[in-house]
Amino acid sequence: MSKTDNPISKVVSTHRPDLEQEYVPLYKHFHAHPELSHQEKETAAKIAEHLSQKCPDVELHTGIGGHGLAGVLKNGNGATVLLRADIDGLPVEEKSGLEWASKKRMVDLEGVEKPTMHACGHDVHMTSLLAAASLLYNSRDTWSGTLIFCFQPAEEKGQGAQAMVDDGLYDKVPIPDVVLGGHVMPMRAGTLGTKRGLMASSADSLKVTLHGKGGHASQPHRLVDPVVMAASTVMRLQTIVSREVDPADTAVVTCACIIAGDAENVVADNAILKLDLRALNAETRSKVLSSVKRIVNAESMASGAVQDPTFETTRNFPLTINDDEVTQRLEESFGEHFGTDDNSYTSSAAKLGGSEDFGILATAIGKPSSFWTYGGTDPKLWDKVAEEGRPGDVPINHSALFAPVIMPTLQVAVDAYAVAALTWLLEEMMGL
């Protein structure tokens, strides 16, 4: 079947709103007005306003788990599909030099003023989900079922998806049969990829406090030195990956931050370690976590700590596992709609570099999910660095220079949401 006569592509191309006219300006607005995690108030209000304007029959639920919102479009019998976009920005100072660059600063939840930027491309996600919602709303006589447009806050903290679930998301909206989402990445704009199975590692962040006894640096015999305790703990933690994890498997145990003391002649009471742990499967994840606790406790005891160490989980992201069957259906639809040459769709996308909390929206209700990636890098820049043999030399997510080229990135993002939803909802596809 060629690109034009496939039924999904026909619906998408005849109902896609005018992206240049309507959605490029909306994207620029979101890009220039980013908000930090848990503080996405104006962003959520803008999404709600746009969604109720373009899709008047959508039942809107706002303020879910903070500034999360979900729109439900009921359109007859059939499957229920949830499409997810995340909406938070990052404390990064934009250096893209673009006309629509963010100059915004925001006081974060700790009361510290931070530069703020959509450095992870969540502005692409929400703009494209709004455009896809309009497309699917306008084409609702061609499909049957229920759509949920889910705009999730606080992804960067790994807390938004869980917060929405805990705040009763699935009491407010119907339980979806499938949960779908995507992310813009430093890949050639115009490309899109899916992957079966593991899509992103888990990530657990811990803040550990080691309790010593401070005092004059000249009198170590009267003290319990938390710096030595921290140093030996950090060294011993290195043995988890090298000595306890199967060499055929892999994991990361990084101590990214140590805080202890202030002056040369004063030993502090406590030392704080901030740890970042990653794993590729649930068994290794729990093994690494328990090994960290065992070592921290033992080193604390070996040093004569005045009390047991304290552990605080500061972030945690689950493993992102793409369901095989769901992903296989996407492979077929995406392949037909986008084509499968080198610069279009691939079913062998790379795993994400970081982690995601998207999967919680599905695992919380025991439903399957799939998460795809698409390129945002200007094709000219991409081809140039590839030709010069430095393919890693493009701005990546969370960089002050990460600014996806708007087209064709936005169109791929919109089409991917719409094609994916129609894979479950288009009447002509039912019973296939």
Nearer CB in complex with Zn ion: 185/260: 185
Q: Which of 5-13, 118-126, 168-176, 284-292 is the region at the interface with Zn ion (rule: CB under 5 A)?
A: 118-126
Q: Which of 5-13, 115-123, 195-203, 261-269 is the region at the interface with Zn ion (rule: CB under 5 A)?
A: 115-123
Strand partners, 253: 277
Q: Is 161 in the site for Zn ion (CB under 5 A)?
A: no
Nearer CB in complex with Zn ion: 355/363: 355
Shortest distance, CB of residue 191 to Zn ion, whole angstroms? 18
Shortest distance, CB of residue 85 to Zn ion, whole angstroms? 10
- Residue 398 labeled ligand binder: no
Shortest distance, CB of residue 90 to Zn ion, whole angstroms? 7
Nearer CB in complex with Zn ion: 16/278: 278
Residue 339: φ, ψ to 5°: 80, 165
Nearer CB in complex with Zn ion: 132/229: 132
For every residue of the chain, which 3-state class applies, written as one string? CCCCCCHHHHHHHHHCCCHHHHHHHHHHHHHHCCCECCCCHHHHHHHHHHHHHHCCCCEEEEEECCCEEEEEEEECCCCEEEEEEECCEECCCCCCCCCCCCCCEEECCCCCEEECECCCCHHHHHHHHHHHHHHHHHCCCCECEEEEEEEECCCCCCCHHHHHHHCCHHHHCCCCCEEEEEEEEEEECCCEECCCEEEECEEEEEEEEEECECEECCCHHHCECHHHHHHHHHHHHHHHHHHHCCCCCCEEEEEEEEECCCCCCEECCEEEEEEEEEECCHHHHHHHHHHHHHHHHHHHHHCCCCEEEEEEEEEEECCEEECHHHHHHHHHHHHHHHCCCCCCEECCCCCCCCCCCCCHHHHCCCCCEEEEEEEEECHHHHHHHHHCCCCCCCCCCCCCCCCCCHHHHHHHHHHHHHHHHHHHHEHHHCCC
Nearer CB in complex with Zn ion: 120/326: 120
- Residue 122 labeled ligand binder: yes
Shortest distance, CB of residue 107 to Zn ion, whole angstroms? 21
Shortest distance, CB of residue 138 to Zn ion, whole angstroms? 28
Of all residues in the shown chain, the one whose CB is closest to Zn ion is: 120
Number of residues lying near Zn ion (CB under 5 A): 1
Nearer CB in complex with Zn ion: 44/119: 119
Q: Which of 39-47, 60-68, 117-125, 411-419 is the region at the interface with Zn ion (rule: CB under 5 A)?
A: 117-125
Shortest distance, CB of residue 156 to Zn ion, whole angstroms? 5
Shortest distance, CB of residue 53 to Zn ion, whole angstroms? 26
Q: Which of 44-52, 116-124, 244-252, 288-296 is the region at the interface with Zn ion (rule: CB under 5 A)?
A: 116-124
Nearer CB in complex with Zn ion: 284/370: 370
Residue from the set 8, 58, 120, 234 that interacts with Zn ion by CB under 5 A: 120
Of 12, 162, 182, which Cα lies nearest the Cα of 83?
182
Under rule CB under 5 A, which residues in 392-431 are in contact with Zn ion?
none
Nearer CB in complex with Zn ion: 143/317: 317
Q: Which of 42-50, 102-110, 113-121, 340-348 is the region at the interface with Zn ion (rule: CB under 5 A)?
A: 113-121
- From residue 291, alpha-carbon distances to 78, 245, 276 in Å are 47, 10, 14
Of 133, 131, 163, which Cα lies nearest the Cα of 148?
133
- Residue 120 labeled ligand binder: yes
Specify binding-site residues for Mn(2+).
120, 122, 156, 183
Binding site membership: which residues?
120, 122, 156, 183
* Contact residues: Zn ion, CB under 5 A: 120
